[in-house]
Amino acid sequence: MPNYDALLFVSFGGPEKPEDVMPFLENVTRGRGVPRQRLESVAEHYHHFGGKSPINAQNRALISALDSELRAHGIELPIYFGNRNWGPYLADTVAEMKAAGVQRALAFITSAYSSYSGCRQYLGDLEQARAAVPGAPVIEPLRRFFNHPGFIDAYADLVGSARAELGQVIGGALPEARLVFTAHSIPSSMARTSDYEKQLRANAALLAERIGHSHWDLVWQSRSGPPEVPWLEPDILEHVRALAAERVPGIVIAPIGFLSDHIEVLYDLDEEARALCTELGVPMVRAATIGTHPRFVQMIRELVLERLRGLPLQSTGPLPPCPHVCAPDCCPRPERPATGARPR
């Protein structure tokens, strides 16, 4: 097996202070022709929380937990942190790695599912960052982990806890409550060129079965494109209205498409969806995101060991594990470029 001397933690990035918000959104949407008015609307989501995304702090907490996990099991790999759209930028981090003498690194990408924006685009950004640094180290991404047992175990724990919390509110009506799984919507053209929806639907069914709840749905949130471009539907707010019309006794919203409580979770679910549930009189509990759940941190270590020791790929559920190296034609750029700002 190849020798690796570092681990690169790769994420989306987010603004750290109010004056960063618009430059960050311009970075995310550069070349997509997004109207200024749309960017200003999305910027208000950040300013609602003080003009700062929590995603970098959440990633640093996960890096710290992972560093401890690796060291506790005798794995000595320094961890570097780089973002696609805000500091620390990937190219700067790759330059730092080169200066430190790193020759060959693994990369953990904070995207569990396969799609152009969640997979292929990250791989392209990694290559661009390496191209910007003469003599850059070799960087080999770890595989997508949507159906790794550790990922499913951690989310089953979190969703089960949220279901139990709702049960304390609505009592014996819990079996009739609805379990609503959410993920970031993507353009329909992007969904057609990837397994994104299939992977999420398989996980939703697996998690519902794991916690013993038969009434569940998979819906979408955080759509950011123009109305004339089809995206995956239904939207979470539309679905909440439909469930209220059905008189469901309560809702658990489980954002299984996200790893941490960044702006899209905090604003779209904890603000908008919760306010709508309150208005419609539907009790709602939002499951926590996976964050630094110990089983998730252990999962990342197990992904590293798959590469360090050539261990068999672990998976659970009906779909096979993702390979170490993506096929050249996997998750291609969609027929029409996605437009709009994607807050994080």
What's this model's pTM, rounded to 2 decimal places? 0.95
SS3 assignment, position 221? strand
- Where do the domains of the chain lie? 6-145+294-309, 149-286
Which letter does DSSP use for residue 119 in this model? I
- In the prediction, which pLDDT does 341 show? 43
Tell me whether domains 6-145+294-309 and 149-286 share a fold: yes
- pLDDT truncated to tens, each residue of the chain (344 aa)? 679 999 999 999 999 999 999 999 999 888 766 778 888 989 999 999 999 999 999 999 999 999 999 999 999 999 999 999 999 999 999 999 999 999 999 999 999 999 999 999 999 999 999 999 999 999 999 999 999 999 999 999 999 999 999 999 999 999 999 999 999 999 999 999 999 999 999 999 999 999 999 999 999 999 877 778 899 999 999 999 999 999 999 999 999 999 999 999 999 999 999 999 999 999 999 999 999 999 999 999 999 999 999 999 999 999 999 999 998 889 998 765 444 445 44
Angle at Cα 281 formed by Cα 280 and Cα 287, nearest 5°? Answer: 100
- The domain made up of 149-286 is a member of CATH 3.40.50.1400: yes
Buried b (16+ CB within 10 A) or exposed e, 8-35: bbbbbbbbbeeebbbebbebbbeeeebe
**Distance (Å, rounded) from C-alpha 262 to C-alpha 266?**
6
CATH of domain 6-145+294-309: 3.40.50.1400
Question: Which of these, 247, 257, 246, 286, lies nearest to 269 by C-alpha position?
Answer: 286
H or E element at residue 13: none
Q: Are 256 and 296 in contact (CB under 8 A)?
A: no
